[in-house]
Structures are given as structure tokens and as C-alpha cells.
Structure 1
Amino acid sequence: MADPTYTRVPFSDLAGWATDDHQAALDVFLNTCRDMRDPHWEILCDVARTGPTARDFFEKFFRPVLIEDGDPMLFTGYFEPELIGSRHRGDGYQFPIYAVPDDLVPGEPYFTRRQIDEDAPLANKGLELAWLADPVDLFFLQVQGSGRIRLPDGQVMRVGYGGKNGRDYSSIGMALVDRGEFEIHQVSAAVIRNWVRKNRREGRKLLWENESYVFFREVSEVPADLGPLGAMNRSITPGRTIAVDPAFVTLGSPVWIEKEGAVPMNRLMVAQDTGSAIKGAQRADIFFGTGDDAGREAGTIKDAGRMIVLLPTTMAQRLPIGP
């Protein structure tokens, strides 16, 4: 990965900036800025609560900076799935959602996905939060990092990211492309689901190619009208939250996105989440909400464009700005 470069961009060059709902973005920013432990951000968070109008706040106290590392921009989408499951094994529910094991050491390699599925080293240790009927549902729940489980009695439990097994994430969609099953433009979450379900044995092996495995925690205390918890442990907002690579973008930062594709999107977002597959300075995952409709919308996103981070003026002035 190349060293990042920094280019200042005037607000006048942000396509659609003048017509965006800056107050909606400010409301989302305020939800997490109080958790940012840096004097620059703490001061701005205080100002945002009682200061100027939303647009004036961003234009007065921030400077747009394009951060690049040599790779082209890629926007994808994610959502909070709602699945059918049970707190107890049986009646077709055979695939466990595991809590974080006691012997898991963050960042160190743990059992692979295949080992956890085949050898069952975590079985009968009281780690099962719930059970699902479909291994594909479990896999995509781990990809999304959170979800709602509708139980047989009509109640709903919510699970959120708890930890991972220290293994690298691998795209099974790209694995299908490499095998010649599909062209790259044909691959989507729905296509992968259908292929795995149609090819049960080979499908299970395909899932194992992604050795990364996510563990969960129950977060049912989050009100149903709010989004799931993101990496900042606050509810995230459909259409205003993005997941980023925190190696390049500070969590909690306002980020202007210019997404191309069939449905362009020019909008001020807030970087409130992360993801195993979100790596690079020009890489973002847009949160679309909860349920099947949000999932279908998120699954269609694989678009180019650019994203520009709004940095506090004092921080932007100290960057090694390129030509």
C-alpha cells in the first residue's frame, strides 16, 4: 500500500454540497462526536451543540481533504439483516451464533471458519446466543456484523459485533469469479446466496475459503427504532453512516461522498463504523438500514467516485499537502 497523499479541496468543488441536508449530517455527527478523545474534536463537538447553522459550522471549522493511497475509490453497501432463528437448537435450527470465546486474544489467529464448522471446538461451552436454519444466513450476518433475530414467540433479539478470529477476510464473490462461475459484474450477495444454496456441498466449502469468523454479543437493549451499534458503540443511521478504514479516516469524522453508478449519491456522511473488507483510503461501505429492502439496495452497490474527509482546520493545516 502506497503512502497516503493529501489534497485540499474547496467546498465549491464538492458536487451537490449546497443542496445537501447539512442539519441531518450534523445530527449524526453529534451522536458520536462526544466519544472522540482528541482536543480538536472535543472543542468542535461543544461548538456544534450551540454554534452556527449546520452548513456554516462545517464550512467555518473544517477543511475538505482528499486522502488517496493509489487505489481507486470503491463504494459498497451494507445493512442490518433480519433473520428467523431460535434461542434453542432444534426444529431445523442447527447453525449457532457464537458469543466471544474466553480464550480469544484480539489480533491473534484463532480457529478458522472451517475448523469452527467441522471440528466444533466451541460447541457446548455456553457460547450459543441463538441458532439459525441456514449457514448462508449465518455467513452474511457475519459479513454485515449485526442483525436482528426473529424468534418463534414473536420476540426479536439483536446481536452486534463482538470480536473476530484474527484471520484475514477473503471475498467469496471473487472466488466464484476466479473459478469462472460468474463475471465480476454479475456477482452480488443474492447471486452468492443462490449459488451456495444450489450447490450445498461445494457451497459450504466456498464459505470456508473466507477464514474470517465473527463472534457476537446480544444488544437487545438498543431501541427498535434506532439502528444497530457501529464501531463507536452508538446506533448508526441509514443513509448517513459509512464504514471506513480507520487507518486513514478517524472514526467520527464528517466525510463527503460522491458516489457514481446507477443511483448517484452526493452527501455528507459520518464515519462511524469499520469492516473487515473495508481497507484503503478511498474505500467506504454505506449503511442502508434494516431488513430485506435495505439488503437488496445495499447489495447492488459497487460503484466508483470519491470521498473527501472534512478535517478540523487546525489539523488540515498541518498535513503534508501535495500538489
Structure 2
Amino acid sequence: MFWNRLSLRHGLIAAGTVVALLAGCTHPSVKPVSPSTTTTTDTPVTWNTLPPTSDTEVVAGFKAWRAGCVKLQNDAVWAKPCQAAAKLPLSPAAVRDFMQSQLDIYALGTDEGREGLITGYYEPVYVGSLTRTAKATVPVYAVPDDLIVVALDEVYPELKGKRLRGRLKGRTLVPYDAASTIASNGSKAPVIAWLTNPMDLQFLQIQGSGRVQLPGGRQLRLAYADQNGRPYRAIGKWLVEQGELKSADVSMQSIRAWATAHPARIADMLASNPSYVFFERKPDSNDGPSGSLNVPLTAGYSVAVDRRAIPLGSLVWMSTTTPDGLNLSRPVAAQDTGGAIAGTVRADLFLGTGDSAGELAGRMKQAGRLWLLWPRGVALPSASAK
């Protein structure tokens, strides 16, 4: 079968910048949890068990979650709490009272423990052009005219979420071209922008959305539109296997530095990842990019989660640290998903736009805990319903 095994997100993909670059190499202090081999536990706890945080953090996290309520107006679980939240003044006392009166708390974990992995992702900005120039020679493609996508659950309900991607060869559906073929031969797709560096395109595809800095100051916003159906292979892992980098040293910065030092081998490195992402233009805006919930993400307070463990739209309490060792405890909004986000205690924190956010995302790989804040009196969904 050649359906997409990366489970690409609607907005941003392959969440967890470091994890996406390594795909399998793990932080020494965090044991990865596979949802297919562990038992999830949602244990009810009291409010005083939550790690403390400031009023500023509580209000900011609540505000980010409330912004997503526009997509939950008809949701059986969240419609009523969202209606109540819409009328709430943004004062610390009102927000804390709302949470404690309207929501129950469940400590998330598995039979392997309650500590998991917290990573970060961001929206990159790359120099480019709307037309090909002497410097801007790397095309960013829209969805190809010959790409065919088949939703398998329309025939086989047990394959919910699985999609077959390919192209027609005569009357036969065959796998779509791999990334290396597209890079060499082009694609039957409109070019929506041109970048100046092939590494910029690779990182844009890993993040799944971004901005192109155009001449004159305008920034063109791009978002994930579709994918070629090939499995994602981490270029960082390829560099480790080649003996070029140690797994502990893999980051966007180290990969880019290696590419700068070895321009003749860039094509070989990129060819190790057959996955290829196609993009679409989005309206110009200063808001964050849209995630899987299709609402703008809030820097520092929107997270990507595994929706099998945490339903989209949920309010979550997160406790972790920054790469510099500072404690980070706050409510966050589950508004996105991603292929590298798998497991019960697993979250990817959206960190913003541009180089500073990217530098932080490149280092964010922390141990952490999660608590699900769920409407009082509403039964938790089964794993199959999330």
C-alpha cells in the first residue's frame, strides 16, 4: 500500500522540530511511548494537584482556547462550555472560577508512567520571489493536477483517516513520484513561489507552513495542501547513519551548517526523504498559522497533540521546562496534530514565527506532564472516538 504513513496535519506537519528531523532518536531522559503498545490511563485528580502558575499564564491559555471555540459551536462536548466562556470577562478570578466550576481534571499517563515528551515547532520565514530569478530557483509547488487522493474509509470504515495517494498510469493507480524525482523532473503543478535555497524548501515541508519574504517587504503565507503519499524519512537520521552527525547534535542549525559545508551532497541527503509536501496560498495576516482545528495558533499557548489521546479543541494543562531549564506551567489549547506527535503524554508547543522562534523550537525537547481539562459531567471519549 502507498497511502500516506506520516499522517500529515492540516496546517503544520511533522510537529516537533527535533523529533521530525531525527524520527526515532530519543532524548536520553524521556522514554518514548507508543500508543499501540501501552495502556492509556486518565486518572481524575483535584485542582490542588496541578503545578501552580501565574494569573497571566492562566488568562493567556484560556484566551487561546476560547479563540478555538468558533470551531466547536456544534460540538456535543464543548458547545456549552464555549458558550459560557464567550461571556466571561478576561480577569484571573473569573477564568480560574470558570475552570474550577466547569471542568474536571484528568492526569494523563500510560502503564509506563506519567512523564512524556514536549517539543516545539514554529512558522519559518524564507527569502523568495513570486517569479523565478537568478537567485530564487527552487520551486514551491501547489497540488499537482495529476495527484489522485482516495479516502479509503468511504469503502472501508475501519480505515478511517487513511488516504491513498497516487497518479494514473493508463487505468492503474500507481504511487506518486518521490521527492527526488520531483526535484529532478519537476511536477505537473503550478509554482506558487520560488525560494533561494533547497534547504529552505525542506524545512518548510517539515514545518508544513511558513512565509516567503518577497521583494518590497510583503510576506506570502503558505500552508500545507497535500502530500505525495510517500513515507517521511528524517534527513537528520540519514546524516547520523552516514556518520556525518551524532544524534545528540542533530538540529535544524546543525543540518543547515552541514549542507553549507557540503553543497555537492545536498541532493543525496534530500533524496533520502521520499515525502514531498504541496502548498497553498493563505491570506496575508499577522495571526498565527492555522492548525488542524482550522483556527490561528497562539504562540506559546497552542499545542499539537495525538488526537487519539486528547480530542482536538480540548483545554490541557502542561508542565515542562524550557531548553534553558526554566519551569513552564500553563493551560494550553489542543488545536493541532502532527505525524511526529504520537502518544498520550505528548505535545508540541507552537512557539511563533521567524528565526528566534525557530532557534527555540530547534532546542525544545523536554520531559513534561499533561492534564486534560474536561467538561464536568461529560464522559471521557473512548480511544476510538477521539
TM-score normalized by the length of structure 2:
0.75
Q: 1:115 aligned to 178, 181, 190, which one?
A: 181
Q: 1:250 aligned to 311, 334, 338, which one?
A: 311
5+ residue gaps, structure 2, are 1-35, 151-162, 166-175
Q: Answer with 210-219 or 84-93: which moved more.
A: 210-219
Query: Which residue number in structure 1 is paired with residue 11 of structure 2?
Result: none
Q: 2:246 aligned to 168, 183, 187, which one?
A: 183
Distance 1:285 1:200 in 2: 31
8 Å contact from structure 1 (residues 79, 144) kept in 2: yes
Q: CA deviation at 1:286?
A: 1.0
Q: CA deviation at 1:238?
A: 0.6
The 5 A counterparts of 1:125-144 are 125=189, 127-144=190-207
Q: CA deviation at 1:54?
A: 0.9
Measured at CA, do residues 45 and 6 of structure 1 come closer, stay the same or move farther in structure 2, by a change above 3 Å? same
Query: Which residue number in structure 2 is paired with residue 82 of structure 1?
Result: 125
Distance 2:71 2:363 in 1: 32
Q: CA deviation at 1:18?
A: 6.1
Q: 1:49 aligned to 72, 75, 86, which one?
A: 86
Q: CA deviation at 1:4?
A: 2.4
Q: CA deviation at 1:49?
A: 1.4
8 Å contact from structure 1 (residues 159, 217) kept in 2: yes
Task: Say yes or no: does 1:308 pair with 2:354.
Answer: no
Q: Answer with 104-113 or 228-237: which moved more.
A: 104-113
Measured at CA, do residues 91 and 40 of structure 1 come closer, stay the same or move farther in structure 2, by a change above 3 Å? same
Query: Which residue number in structure 2 is paired with residue 101 of structure 1?
Result: 144
Q: Give the 3-state SS of the residue equivalent to 1:84 in structure 2.
A: strand
Q: Give the 3-state SS of the residue equivalent to 1:181 in structure 2.
A: coil
Q: Percent identity?
A: 37
Deviations 1:84-103 (CA, angstroms, capped at 9, x unpaired): 10111122211111112242
8 Å contact from structure 2 (residues 310, 344) kept in 1: yes
Q: Give the 3-state SS of the residue equivalent to 1:276 in structure 2.
A: coil
8 Å contact from structure 2 (residues 225, 280) kept in 1: yes
Deviations 1:70-93 (CA, angstroms, capped at 9, x unpaired): 586111111111111011112221
Q: Give the 3-state SS of the residue equivalent to 1:279 in structure 2.
A: coil
Distance 1:4 1:198 in 2: 45
Give the partner amino acid of 2:64: V
Distance 1:9 1:177 in 2: 42
Q: CA deviation at 1:241?
A: 0.8
Q: CA deviation at 1:128?
A: 0.7
Q: CA deviation at 1:105?
A: 0.8
Distance 2:96 2:40 in 1: 28
Distance 2:42 2:54 in 1: 23
Q: 1:291 aligned to 321, 345, 354, which one?
A: 354
Count of aligned residue pairs for this structure pair: 315
5+ residue gaps, structure 1, are none
Query: Which residue number in structure 2 is paired with residue 10 of structure 1?
Result: 46
| CA RMSD, Structure 1 to Structure 2 (Å) | 2.3
Q: CA deviation at 1:17?
A: 4.2
Measured at CA, do residues 271 and 94 of structure 1 come closer, stay the same or move farther in structure 2, by a change above 3 Å? same
Q: CA deviation at 1:237?
A: 0.7
Q: Answer with 170-179 or 147-156: which moved more.
A: 170-179
Deviations 1:256-299 (CA, angstroms, capped at 9, x unpaired): 11113523311111011122222222221111111111111111
Measured at CA, do residues 18 and 153 of structure 1 come closer, stay the same or move farther in structure 2, by a change above 3 Å? closer
